[in-house]
C-alpha cells in the first residue's frame, strides 16, 4: 500500500488538454513524478462550452443534436488517434468514447423532445466533458504501458448541496464516504484519474461546481487523501501582479497566502475556483500553480503562511461584471433585520451578494451583472415603509488591491487612493478593513484599465 506521505494531487485544466501535444506533455509530467500521482482532470478545452451550447441548440431544434454530437465525437477521436500508437488500446479508447457520446446524444434528444433545460439537466450533460477527458488520458497512459483507473466523482460519495451548477461539497460526509475509496486507490497502486467539476446531490442527481470547478474537486481530493501537496497545472506560470491583457509589464507572483488567493479569486482573478482554498484550509496543504510548458519553473506557491512582501501589494485584480443596487430610506441602516431580509430574498433565488456597504440612509449591494435585473425585480417587492427607493448602476467595476499587510502598513490606503485620483478618476466607493488583505474600490467600468495601471505603477515600478 502506498503511504499517504508519498502522494501528490495533480489537477490538469482544460487548457492543458487542448490537443495531443498538450496531452502528451501532461502524461510526461505524470510519469515524471517521484510521488504517487492522484490525477484530477477537467474537460478537453472548449468541450464544456460545446455541451452548454448544445443544450441550448437542442432545445431550439431537434436537428441541432446531430451537429453537437458530430463535433463532440470528432474532437475526441482526433485527440485519441493523434496520441495513442497501439491499435488495440486506440480501439478500446474509441469504444469508450462512443459509449459516453451516445449517452450525451440521448440526453440532448431528451432536451429536444421535452423542451426542458434545468440546472440538473445541464449539470448532468456537462459532466460528460470530464468523463471523456478521463477516458482519453487513461488510454494514453495505457499506450505508455502504465496502468490507471478512471474514477467518476459522482460514484465515490462526493456529496454536495442541491445547487446544481454552483454546488458545494459536504466535506464531513465526503470524508466518511471517501475513506474506504482512498484506501482502495492506494492499495491498488494504479494511477487514479478522477473526474473534476462534478459530484452528486443527496438524491443522486449530478451537480457541478461552476467554472474552474475541477480546481475545487482537486482541493477536495487533497482533503480526502490528506495529501502533502496539491499541484494545479495550467498553461501559464502562475498568478500575476496584474492582468497582462491590460498591464503588459505584469509579472509572476512567487508566493501568496491562502487569504490573498481567496480574495483574488473571489473578486476577479479566475486562475482558481473561488472555493479552492476552503477544503484544505484547516490542513495547511500547500498549492503550487505550475505550467505544463515550463514544468521546472517555480510558478506560484500558495501556503497558509502570511508572507509580507516589501512592497506590501501582491496584485491588483478587477471585476468588470458587477452591478450596484442601492436601497434608500431614512434610517434604513438602523433598522434591525433589514439586511437579513434583503439577503434572504436574493439567496432564495440563488443570487450571490459580493459585498454590502451601508449607511444611515442607504444600503449598497454589489452583485454580479447577470443578476442585476432579477435582483432589482425581487427587491422592488420590499419597497414601502423602510425602503423608500431602489436604483441600480451597471456601468461600474470593482478593483481589489491585495496583499498581506495592507491594513498594518501606514499610508498604503492613501497611496492607492492617490494613484487613482492623480489621473483624475472618480472613486465612487472605497473600503479598507472589510478584509485584512485587501482594499476595494468601485469606479466607472470605462476607467478600469487606467486605474489598474496607475495602482500597479505606484507599487511595482522599481
Q: In the prediction, which pLDDT does 269 show?
A: 64
Q: In what order do the strands lie in the sheet with 438-444?
A: 353-358, 362-368, 315-328, 389-402, 438-444, 429-435
Q: Which residues contact 455 (CB under 8 A, 6 or more apart)?
A: 313, 316, 399, 401, 416, 419, 420
| Cell output for 436 | 485584512
**Which among 225, 253, 276 is the end of a domain?**
276
Question: Do the domain assignments include residue 306?
Answer: no
Q: Which residues contact 242 (CB under 8 A, 6 or more apart)?
A: 250, 315, 316, 317, 452, 453, 456, 460
Question: Do the domain assignments include residue 244?
Answer: no
Question: Do the domain assignments include residue 194?
Answer: yes
Q: Do 223 and 81 sit in the same domain of this protein?
A: yes
Strand pairing class (362-368; 287-291): unpaired
Q: What's the domain range around 360?
A: 315-460
- Helical (H) or strand (E) element with 414: helix 412-421
How far, in Å, are 32, 346, 396 from residue 323 at the CA level? 47, 14, 6
**CA triplet 85, 88, 89: central angle to 5 degrees?**
60
Question: Do the domain assignments include residue 119?
Answer: yes
Distance separating alpha carbons of residues 462 and 458, to the nearest angstrom = 9
Question: Do the domain assignments include residue 297?
Answer: no
Three-state DSSP class for residue 161: coil
Question: Do the domain assignments include residue 249?
Answer: no
Rg of the chain on CA atoms, in Å: 24
Q: Do 323 and 451 sit in the same domain of this protein?
A: yes
Q: What are the residue ranges in the chain where pLDDT is below 70?
A: 267-269, 385, 462
Q: In the prediction, which pLDDT does 48 show?
A: 97
How many domains is the chain built from? 2
Three-state DSSP class for residue 363: strand
- Which of these, 229, 199, 226, lies nearest to 214 by C-alpha position? 199
| Cell output for 299 | 510558478
pTM of the model: 0.90
**Which among 216, 246, 276 is the end of a domain?**
276
| Cell output for 29 | 509530467
- Which of these, 18, 32, 40, 19, lies nearest to 83 by C-alpha position? 19
Strand partners, 363: 327, 358
Q: Do 223 and 90 sit in the same domain of this protein?
A: yes
Q: Do 213 and 65 sit in the same domain of this protein?
A: yes
Q: What is the pLDDT of residues 88-115, one digit of tens each?
A: 999 999 999 999 999 999 999 999 999 9
| Cell output for 415 | 497611496
Q: What is the pLDDT of residues 374-420, one digit of tens each?
A: 999 998 888 876 788 898 888 899 999 999 988 888 899 999 999 99
Question: What is the distance, to the nearest Å, from the Cα of residue 370 to the centroid of all Cα atoms in its chain?
Answer: 17
Q: Do 333 and 445 sit in the same domain of this protein?
A: yes
Q: What is the largest CA-CA distance in the chain?
A: 76
Q: Do 100 and 204 sit in the same domain of this protein?
A: yes
Read off the DSSP letter of residue 381: T
- How many residues comprise the chain? 462
Strand pairing class (198-200; 206-208): antiparallel
Question: Do the domain assignments include residue 366?
Answer: yes
Q: Do 328 and 207 sit in the same domain of this protein?
A: no
Q: In what order do the strands lie in the sheet with 191-195?
A: 148-151, 191-195, 36-41, 7-12, 230-234, 287-291, 300-303, 255-257
Q: Do 143 and 43 sit in the same domain of this protein?
A: yes
Question: What is the distance, to the nearest Å, from the Cα of residue 170 to the centroid of all Cα atoms in its chain?
Answer: 18
Distance separating alpha carbons of residues 89 and 140, to the nearest angstrom = 8
- Which of these, 356, 345, 338, lies nearest to 381 by C-alpha position? 345
- Which of these, 73, 85, 189, lies nearest to 132 by C-alpha position? 73
Three-state DSSP class for residue 228: coil
Q: Do 12 and 153 sit in the same domain of this protein?
A: yes
CATH number of the domain at 428, please.
3.30.2130.10
CATH number of the domain at 187, please.
3.40.1160.10
- Which of these, 139, 460, 457, 440, lies nearest to 319 by C-alpha position? 440
Do the beta carbons of residue 371 and residue 351 sit within 8 Å?
Answer: yes
**Which among 276, 295, 324 is the end of a domain?**
276
| Angle of helix 87-114 versus helix 128-143 axis, rounded to 10 | 170
- Which of these, 200, 217, 212, 265, lies nearest to 239 by C-alpha position? 265
Place of cell 506521505: 5
Q: Which residues contact 401 (CB under 8 A, 6 or more apart)?
A: 313, 316, 416, 438, 439, 440, 441, 455
Q: Do 123 and 232 sit in the same domain of this protein?
A: yes
Amino acid at each position: 500500500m502506498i503511504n499517504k506521505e508519498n502522494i501528490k494531487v495533480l489537477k490538469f485544466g482544460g487548457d492543458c488538454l487542448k490537443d495531443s501535444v498538450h496531452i502528451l506533455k501532461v502524461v510526461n509530467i505524470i510519469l515524471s513524478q517521484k510521488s504517487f500521482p492522484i490525477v484530477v482532470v477537467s474537460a478537453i478545452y472548449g468541450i464544456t462550452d460545446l455541451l452548454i451550447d448544445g443544450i441550448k441548440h437542442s432545445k431550439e431544434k431537434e436537428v441541432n443534436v446531430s451537429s453537437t454530437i458530430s463535433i463532440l465525437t470528432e474532437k475526441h477521436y482526433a485527440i485519441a488517434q493523434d496520441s495513442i500508437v497501439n491499435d488495440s488500446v486506440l480501439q478500446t479508447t474509441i469504444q469508450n468514447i462512443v459509449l459516453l457520446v451516445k449517452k450525451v446524444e440521448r440526453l440532448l434528444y431528451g432536451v429536444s423532445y421535452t423542451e426542458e433545460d434545468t440546472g440538473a439537466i445541464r449539470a448532468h450533460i456537462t459532466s460528460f466533458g470530464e468523463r471523456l477527458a478521463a477516458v482519453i488520458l487513461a488510454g494514453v497512459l495505457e499506450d505508455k504501458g502504465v496502468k490507471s483507473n478512471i474514477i467518476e466523482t459522482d460514484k465515490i460519495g462526493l456529496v454536495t448541496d442541491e445547487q446544481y451548477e454552483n454546488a458545494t461539497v459536504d466535506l464531513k460526509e465526503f470524508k466518511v464516504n471517501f475513506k474506504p475509496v482512498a484506501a482502495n486507490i492506494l492499495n491498488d497502486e494504479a494511477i487514479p484519474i478522477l473526474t473534476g467539476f462534478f459530484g452528486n446531490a443527496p438524491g443522486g442527481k449530478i451537480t457541478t461546481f461552476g467554472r474552474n470547478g475541477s480546481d475545487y474537486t482537486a482541493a477536495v481530493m487533497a482533503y480526502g487523501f490528506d495529501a502533502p501537496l496539491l499541484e494545479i497545472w495550467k498553461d501559464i506560470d502562475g498568478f500575476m501582479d496584474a492582468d497582462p491583457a491590460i498591464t503588459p509589464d505584469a509579472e509572476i507572483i512567487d508566493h501568496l497566502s491562502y487569504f490573498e488567493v481567496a480574495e483574488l479569486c473571489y473578486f476577479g482573478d479566475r486562475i482558481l475556483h473561488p472555493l479552492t482554498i476552503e477544503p484544505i484550509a484547516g490542513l495547511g496543504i500547500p498549492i503550487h500553480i505550475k505550467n505544463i510548458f515550463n514544468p521546472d519553473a517555480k510558478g506560484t506557491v500558495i501556503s497558509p503562511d502570511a508572507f509580507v512582501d516589501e512592497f506590501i501589494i501582491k496584485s491588483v485584480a478587477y471585476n468588470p461584471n458587477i452591478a450596484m443596487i442601492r436601497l434608500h430610506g431614512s434610517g434604513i441602516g438602523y433598522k434591525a433585520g433589514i439586511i437579513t431580509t434583503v439577503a434572504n430574498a436574493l439567496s432564495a433565488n440563488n443570487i450571490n451578494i459580493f459585498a454590502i456597504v451601508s449607511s444611515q440612509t442607504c444600503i449598497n449591494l454589489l452583485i454580479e451583472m447577470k443578476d442585476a435585473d432579477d435582483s432589482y425585480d425581487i427587491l422592488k417587492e420590499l419597497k414601502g415603509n423602510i425602503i423608500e427607493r431602489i436604483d441600480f448602476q451597471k456601468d461600474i467595476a470593482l478593483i481589489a488591491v491585495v496583499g498581506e499587510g495592507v491594513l498594518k502598513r501606514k499610508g498604503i490606503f492613501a497611496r492607492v487612493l492617490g494613484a487613482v485620483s492623480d489621473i483624475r478618476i472618480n472613486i465612487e466607493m472605497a473600503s479598507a478593513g472589510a478584509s485584512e488583505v485587501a482594499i476595494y474600490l468601485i469606479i466607472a467600468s470605462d476607467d478600469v484599465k487606467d486605474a489598474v495601471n496607475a495602482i500597479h505603477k505606484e507599487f511595482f515600478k522599481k
